[in-house]
Structure 1
Amino acid sequence: MPANVFALPCGVDFPRALVAGLIERFRDAPPEDLARVRLYLGSGRMVRRVREAFDAAGARLLPRIGLISDIGRLPIDDIPPAVSSLGRRLELAQLVAGLIRRLPQFEPGAGTFRLADSLADLLAEMQEEGVTPETLETLDIAETHAEHWQASLQFIRIVARYFEDDAAPDTSGRQRRVVEALIRLWQDAPPRDPIIIAGSTGSRGATALFMQAVAGLPNGAIVWPGYDFEMPDFAWDSLTAGRVPIEDHPQYRFCALFKRLGIGPGDVERWTATPAPAPERNRLVSLALRPAPVTDQWMREGAGLGPLGPAAERMTLIEAPDERAEALALALVLRRAVEEGRSAALVTPNRTVTRRVAAALDRWGILPDDSAGQPLSLTASGRFLRLVARMRGRALMIAPLLILLKHPVAATGSAMRGDHLLFTRELELYLRRRGPAFPDRVALLKWAGDEEPRIRWAEWVATVIAGFLPAPEADLPEVIAAHLALASDLAAGPGGTAAASGLWQHEAGETCAAIMAELTTEAPAGGRYGPADYADLIDTLFQGEQVRHSQAVHPGVLILGTLEARVQTADLVILAGLNEGSWPEAPDPDPWLSRQMRLAAGLLLPERQIGLSAHDFQQAIGAPEVVLSRARRDASAETVPSRWLNRLTNLMGGLGPTGGPEALAGMRRRGTDWLRMARAFETPTERIAPATRPSPRPPEAARPRELPVTAIRTLIRDPYAVYAGRILRLKPLNPLSPEPDPRLRGEVLHLIVQRFVERRPLDETLDEAEDRLLLIAEEILTDQIPWPSAQVLWLARIRRIARTLVEAEQARRDEGDPVIVETKAGIELPDIGFRLTAKPDRIDVLRDGRAHLFDYKSGKPPSDKEVLAFDKQLPLEAAMVARGAFAAIGPREVAAMTYIRLGGDGETRDLKMGPDEIEATWQRFRALVARYLRPETGYTARRAMQTTTIASDYDHLSRFGEWQISDPAKGEDVE
């Protein structure tokens, strides 16, 4: 057969060489002959590059250029138009939802639409590869496959109707049917115009079938990119010699096409005589990527490569300690290329790497031309719509509410945008100090006060909050309408309009509008959706879209995905993120068919994607100058080098006679130089000495003259906290996401016991007391704790110790009566000018006239030694009782001090301290206060913390971490 299969070697600028070959072949032909050529290309970017190459070659009639995917749009009488891809996925989502209801154990945790998306991909693949449901019926799964795969196969049978002849095809199915129709048509009437397919490796079944048909035409031709002309025949044969084909090899797709086309590796001709930019490197990489069964040839064939210095002299290997160092080093490489006037391209499938490098380039004002653009899900409009969808059906806590209000799209349609930002900041401070955890209209109006603008804004926020609840399961059109209405109201702002907001503006907003419009159109076939499934639907739709922003980019700095690297070359090419799981990316798990089932059915194996990625790597590494980079560690663990980088370094390291180790050392040395420059770039020119352990000495007039007994423990353990809180008046904010923490639990338990004690009937039995305690607990928990799970858990704990508490309370009733419950009082120390205040949990007056002090503890009470040295609350309260600080009982002798634990087993513990020890504690307290009232005494940070792991609210202010607990304190006079 005629040699109508052509290729270009790795590293060649494919679009430019493709155009050059076309022009050369039609040089002596009439101009209209070139215009009759139909040129089918693999991607939109390749179409643009080919047009640019034609423009650069001078004025002429151009061939008819299109995409291979355009074949599926050709009008064929007996083939109906393709149905909407989204509509088909919505239909499948209903079937998947039914499966999940019947088999809840099937892929637990996976969203309904994500499963439908993967099922749609499987159906598209089956149609492209010509695999029918009948083929799956022949699989023997009864003995060799798990129950999960049996269930999935039974479900796949349900969707067999999409393969029937009268079924409306989807895009992939119509593509194959059109190709098959063209093949039948060409058997009777071959096309007169030349047809050329270029830039595709035929990885999809329909594309490979089309390529086979074109290659069989007298005036048809195929031009492959990145063909390995150095690979010997036995290596080609090894790709298909085993039971399982070696699909992860970069040249496997060409090998698979050989069988379809009836040719061998030697039948592939060069499209042009354009030499590869680095032929020595191509031979080295070809040998390194040989399939595993023939790697024993490394040593024998490696000697024939000759000295490896020329192959590696324009290669650099950067093995960075972490991802940040890698990104900065690559940014410096790109900056150097810009300064030298060379074009540079960063190629990687890892979008995290590209974002880091782009951020590093921004410091020099270099904005790279990113082919992928920005994921729609990360744009302002995309994130806003996803947030609103994700939060529907939930009661908004403080953090989610502020996330919505602070979003750059929120209230952009209103003239109150400035006030909106101001009010949001003020509301945040208010809610973090006073709550509630779930803001509502009452709390918002309480914050607004009497100011009309605040009231109007608060009413708008309250309306928005109310829109998130309820969100019951409903038909998809209703859910979409509710979602869009809520998003529009939030984007419009008080008195504004959604049309004037930033929600639907610019490229991202327009893309979001198009997706939502298509979803609205296809929604009637979508079934019913709850909030979680709908949020999953929106996430899936947005994550598959990219947005390119119309900004002025640097023309010489490109960021490319691996697919784009086939059609775009540069003077310098950087292959970044060369780690397993990144390049190559780990194949997505298939929830429907196992690997063995795919192999038996003739579907594509997971290794196919790895093989395509390997081909992209082999094509890109053939550039004139190459930088290979990886990070030895990512955010969580040590990384594993990419298998291709591993093979390359292992091969070079083992070829001692040809200078392989020396060449590899040179690559690493050049990479180390870039890492050294990156470290030097970030090394500060001035070294700032770490902070010393602070012990500020404020003037005497600024020192606190009043403290509660609970602050004395802090004064002893962490005086700096008293300085920051009482003198600087810095109060820590509550967290943005309030939780039912121990502090809140303690407050609620104190309130429960207080109300129980204050309302005690005289003739109450133990059973009645227990019932009343639990009733009070349930009422207070319902009123004070907005988390249902915490209500249930805490009530259960109280129920467990309720009998113990009421029995102990009954015994105390016989001894005395509670006179003081949560009542604040104070005592003056006139000789030193100080006032001590206290709010005892409870003080009983006994029958003999003495006082009994009680302190409720939700956690473990302090030991006697801890009380003696640090936790002096009860002894100090006892000293205040003895001195008549509490008017309700006057001066009294203290009979006992008791801790009552409102947790655990509800046990009590008496504090063994007599009058003499109480008096001694009082005197030590006086001396302590007097010392801290003197200007020469400093408030030392973390003076005597109970454990080093206990955090202080002011550790960041004292810069703890720059100094250690063992460091001496440095006193400093402050104003």
Structure 2
Amino acid sequence: MSVAPNASPWPKGFSPMPPAEPHVFALPPGVDFARELVQGLVARMQDEPPEAMARLRLILNAGRMSRRVREEFDRLGTRFLPRIELVSDLARVPMPGLPAPVPPLRRKLDLACLVDRLARGLPAFETGSGIFSLTDSLLTLMAEMQSEGVHPDVFEHLDIQASHAEHWRQSLVFIRIVARYFEAGSALDAEARQRRVAEMMAHTWAETPTEDRIIIAGSTGSRGATRLLMQAVARLPRGILVLPGFDFDMPQMAWNSLCSGPIPIEDHPQYRYLPILDALDLRPQQVERWTETPPPSPQRNALVSLALRPAPVTDQWMQEGRAFTDLPAAASQMTLIEASDPRQEALAIALILREAVAQGKKAALISPDRMLTRRVAAALDRWGIVPDDSAGQPLPLTAPGRLIRHLARLCGRKLSMENLLVVLKHPLVATGSTLRGAHLRLTREFELSLRRKGPAFPDAIALRDWGGTEDAERQHWSEWLAALLDLLETDAQSSISAWLETLLALLEGLAAGPGGTVAASELWLAEAGQAAFRTLADLAAQEETGLQISAANFADLIDSLLQEGQVRSTLVAHPLVSFLGTLEARSHGAELVILAGLNEKSWPEIPSPDPWLSRKMRLDAGLLLPERQIGLSAHDFQQAIAAPEVVLSRARRDSEAETVPSRWLNRLLNLAGGLTHAQGPEAVAEMRARGARFLDMAAALDLPEQLPSPAPRPAPRPPAEARPRQLPVTAIKTLIRDPYAVYAGRILRLRPLDPLKPGPDPRLRGEALHRIVELFVKGFDPSISLDTSQKRLSEIAETVLQEMIPWPSTQRLWLYRLLKIAPQLVAQEAQRRVEAVPAVIETSATIDLGVQGFTLMARPDRIDLHDDGTALVYDYKSGTPPKEAEVRHFDKQLLLEAAMIERGAFAEIGPRHVAAMSYVHLGGNGDCRMLALGREDVEETWTRLQGLIARYLSPSQGFAARRAMQMSRDISDYDHLSRFGEWDITDLPVPEDVG
């Protein structure tokens, strides 16, 4: 068996004394590791005095394992406990000549300063707003190098000329900046110090082996420093290793295949044990069992072991698969759930956990998919079951974390309406004031004002204008908020301390509220508030580095610092239900284990791309390959699937596309399905059948007892006195096509709420273009040249767009489109002025229709008077003008305006004969199209309108929904109110009297 890279644990130039015989034990997957560790330890020391246990050093892999071990000791009664430590505690062990480790944040800021300085000289590594993301990836690489004992000097000897791109050559320039942190006497961070401590311990024990009992248990040696310590302990006279999830079913040939090729198969679950065993000159068959307790299902363990064999030796499936005889028995405690989507998967899992609680079983959900675990927790909430979530809640998702992130994103940026309202409605804002209720009321009033009137980007000036002087409470509130908004006007580049000062001022000012104090607020209360306070206080305590960063970089820094925090729930968790990460699969001790989210990209997760080193460069340098993380996840999977009762769960589809089953689940199902002699297909079918029971329950859970009948196509008939007695000419088209919209808008007075995030929509474009043309026409001088008029139109357009359109890119785009047709518009205007002059521009008028006191209103864009006294009606269209057929039957605005002109509705011009009606297109080619309609059409339209209004003023006429929409896909503002979708456009309207 070949030796894995970097297997030697000894410092360069050091020759250790002849080692003692290694003592390596292991426990198979599926056994309760913590319980069996304690049982084996107690059994081995039962003949020794009680105080011998207190002298034993027990080094464990994680905090949860430490808690489980203590619980198991407590279960055995009163006794001395060993000195329980964690592998991660090595970084803090006092050692001569080694100072305390540098805090991670201090190292991060120092390295960010170097990265920023170097990035300015390398365009290929232009960081933009990602200085700290680049720094974090470099810190991760540096931690790996320190843990694996790889010095930056190794990169000087890599052959990158022939087989690597320019990107990799430039990345080495960046990597060289970490060399100073490997120099003797430099301040060490936690990873480097842990490596140094492990090396010094190994050196000391090699020269003078300690007689103390030292046991390292629960670790796979996946990190270089940990592996070095494990090898040193195993060589001590009384040192012991206890490996978790060791596969005793793998033959030597399978072990050899892990390192038989040019690249080791690191994605295999057992690979991490090879470097340890090779360095100790041990074969896997020499690893002894810590206890003789068998796993819950040895046959299942053997099946999983065979399924996970490396790809080059999967031919062993055919040979070793013959040994299986009864797979239904091996899989009798396995359930397979293949849900249609993540929601159904979460609901089925919640039902399984609820059933386990009812049966008194201890159950654990293991999944790397945090979104899925949150869905399951929400589903369990309906039964009042609160799981013990080991990961807790991420600090950025807590109330203080969300507020801090929102405010960090506001600094140095133009404040949008949406972002401002998100902050004002946050539950922690104004909690330090007695005016919290008034704050919410004024926020609502301010929101309605912003939605209706703008501006899209509110500032302190707009806020003070809205506050006014009449309402003292409103003025006080607006002054408080305006003073905080003034803080957002900061420089584009500033120091971290300056950005943090602004953030804290905004944060505490908003939490205090108008007239309140931050001390009285809820900002820093409870675990989440205290964790957020410690995070910001730690950043504030750092010495200034001189780094000047943008607002976006500062927001990235805050995000990364908050991501490092977790907040455990203060609620009392159910003692039988726990949510665990994959690493904790070896320490759960549950009777029922659910492995959820078994899809590729989730379990295993895709290794993060390395921006610094290619795969070959990593291999040549002796660093870990990307498959390392996959191998660790595979080991966690192998341990978890060996539990007494197991549920394997996945969703066939996520929110984007069809999913791919996890490679381990695929292998297991393919192997079992192929072992027909052992009834493998029947075993898989039974697993699916057990899962189908919970899927059926999940489908029935949300199914209503009785489905309501679909709503009919409405045609409400309000009383005659409630029907509108006045309409603008633009609403006649709506009355013809969608009468229900007139009912909802004019009778019920329901108006669509303006968007929270306004944008440059067609309506705003039309208003801006109409305003430009209005100003141009009113100031047009026929005596000046066309070029001068065109220049004046350009100036008007630029001024109006700057006033009405707050989006610079949209301003330039719309101006460009208008200037393309400006010569056409100017030439048309000059031609019109030869024979006519504008008499009415954007002026409102009304006229009695002559039907039950009904009034018709109009505001024509433009009416010109011809030399012969006739009128010319123009309508400007920013979109495509309607065709003549549409004008005859639906879009009757110009025809009705002509009818009103002929009846003297406009006092400025009196009754006039309308000679022509035209549309001027303010887009496309800027053409002007005259309608081929005459006086007969105008009179016919007026007569037909009288009949139409008479019908709709009658109590027997209903306002049918979507009567004659132009396109079936057209959307009405009131489709949700009419419940369109429950009925079809082919359904007949159902009249209904309404009060």
- Structure-1-length-normalised TM-score: 0.98
Shift of 1:107: 7.4
Alignment partner of 1:655 out of 675, 682, 685: 675
Matches of 1:911 and 1:95, distance apart in 2: 71
Q: Deviations over 1:2-42 (max 9, x none)?
A: 35101111011111111111111111101111111111111
Distance 1:267 1:92, change over 3 A: same
Query: What amino acid does structure 1 have at the position aligned with 2:449?
Result: Y
Question: Which of 843, 861, 866 does residue 863 from structure 2 map onto?
Answer: 843
Letter of the aligned partner of 2:85 in structure 1? G
Name 2:12's counterpart in structure 1.
none
SS in 2 for 1:197: strand
Q: Write the deviation string for residues 492-537 of structure 1: whole angstroms up to 9, x where unpaired.
A: 1111222222222111111111111111222513611110001111
Residues 238-637 of structure 1 correspond to what in structure 2 (within 5 A)? 238-449=257-468, 450-525=470-545, 527-637=547-657
Q: Which amino acid aligns with 1:890?
A: G
Tell me if the contact between 1:348 and 1:354 (Cα under 8 Å) persists in the aligned partners.
Answer: yes
Say whether 1:962 aligns with 2:987: no
**Deviation digits for residues 393-451 of structure 1 (CA, Å, limit 9, x no counterpart):** 12222111110001112111111111111221222222112222122344434544522
Q: 1:933 aligns with which of 921, 945, 953?
A: 953
Q: Helix, strand or coil for the counterpart of 2:245?
A: strand
Instruction: Give the deviation of 1:159 after TM superposition.
Output: 2.3
Deviations 1:629-676 (A, max 9, x none): 000000110000000000000010000001111111100010111101
Deviations, residues 223-272 of structure 1 (Å, cap 9, x unaligned): 11111111111111111111111111111111221112211111111111
Does 2:84 match 1:78? no
Matched residue, 1:91 = 110
- Paired amino acid for 1:133: P
1:178 and 1:439 map into 2 onto residues whose CA distance is: 57
> Retained in 2: the 8 A contact 1:91–1:526?
no
- Counterpart for residue 238 of structure 2: 219
Determine if contact 2:418/2:756 at 8 Å carries over to the other structure: yes
CA contact (8 A) 2:120 2:126 kept: no
2:912 to 889, 892, 910: 892
Distance across 1 between alignment mates of 2:543 and 2:684 = 58
**Matches of 2:515 and 2:543 in 1, distance apart?**
30
Residue of 196, 200, 214 corresponding to 1:195: 214
Shift of 1:712: 0.5
Is the deviation greater in 397-406 or in 769-778? Answer: 769-778
Tell me which amino acid in the other structure corresponds to 1:467: L
**Aligned match of 1:754 in 769, 774, 778?**
774
8 Å contact 1:93–1:526 — kept in the other structure?
no
Distance between the aligned counterparts of 1:813 and 1:913, measured in 2?
23
Task: Report 1:692-711 matches (<5 A).
Answer: 692-711=712-731
Q: Would the aligned equivalents of 1:111 and 1:536 in 2 still touch at CA under 8 Å? A: yes
Query: Which residue of structure 2 aligns with residue 130 of structure 1?
Result: 149
Alignment TM-score, normalising by the size of structure 2: 0.96
Q: 1:567 to 1:189 in 2, by over 3 A?
A: same
Runs of at least 4 residues off by over 6 Å: 107-110
SS of the residue aligned with 1:888? Answer: coil
| Number of equivalent positions | 975
Aligned residue type for 1:743: R
CA distance in 2, matches of 1:962, 1:746: 34
| Contiguous gaps of at least 5 residues in structure 2 | 1-19
* C-alpha contact (below 8 Å) 2:22/2:235 kept by paired residues: no
AA partner of residue 659 (structure 2): T
Instruction: Spell out the pairing of 1:152-231 with structure 2 (5 A cutoff).
Output: 152-231=171-250
Cα separation, 1, equivalents of 2:177 and 2:857? 76
> Does the Cα contact within 8 Å between 2:129 and 2:552 map onto a contact in 1?
no
Relative distance call for 1:336 and 1:7 in structure 2 (3 A) is same
Q: Are 1:910 and 2:916 counterparts?
A: no
- State the partner residue of 2:736: 716
Instruction: Please state if 1:233 is matched with 2:233.
Output: no
The worse-fitting range, judged by mean Cα deviation, of 921-930 and 370-379 is: 921-930
Q: Distance in 2 between matches of 1:470 and 1:834?
A: 57
Q: Which amino acid in 1 is paired with 2:971?
A: A
Residue 5 of structure 2 is matched in structure 1 by none
Partner Cα distance (2:119, 2:521) in 1: 39
Range 33-42 or range 793-802, more displaced: 793-802
Give distance in 2, aligned partners of 1:963 and 1:106.
57
Q: What secondary structure does 1:161 align onto?
A: helix
Deviation at 1:108, TM superposition (A): 6.6
Q: Aligned partners of 1:34, 1:362: CA distance in 2, in Å? A: 44
Q: 1:899 to 1:383 in 2, by over 3 A?
A: same
Measured against aligned partners, the alpha-carbon deviations of 1:569-590 in whole angstroms (never above 9, x if no partner) come to 2111100000001011111111
Counterpart amino acid of residue 488 in structure 2: F
1:69 aligns with 2:88: yes
State the one-letter code of the partner of 1:289: L
Structure 2 residue matching 1:965: 3-state secondary structure: coil
CA distance in structure 2 between the aligned counterparts of 1:378 and 1:260, rounded to whole angstroms: 45
Q: CA deviation at 1:94?
A: 2.0
Deviation at 1:158, TM superposition (A): 2.6
Quote the sequence identity (%).
Answer: 60
Structure 2 vs 1, CA of residues 271 and 107 (structure 1 numbering), >3 Å: closer, same or farther?
farther
Counterparts of 1:869-884 in structure 2, within 5 Å, are 869-884=889-904
Superposition RMSD in Å: 1.4
Residues in 1 aligned to 2:666 and 2:79: alpha-carbon distance in whole angstroms: 47
Q: CA deviation at 1:141?
A: 1.0
Query: C-alpha separation between the residues in 2 aligned to 1:965 and 1:150?
Result: 65
1:851-893, Cα deviation, whole Å (9 max, x unpaired): 0111011111111111011110001100110011101100011
How far, CA to CA, are the matches of 1:105 and 1:930 in structure 2? Answer: 73
Q: Which amino acid aligns with 1:15?
A: A
The one-letter code matched in structure 1 to 2:864 is D
Q: Report the counterpart of residue 133 of structure 2 in structure 1.
A: 114
CA displacement at 1:106 relative to structure 2: 3.2
- Tell me the amino acid that sits aligned with residue 433 of structure 1: R
Instruction: Pick which of 723-732 and 392-401 moved more.
Output: 392-401
Cα contact 1:3–1:267 (8 A) shared by 2: no
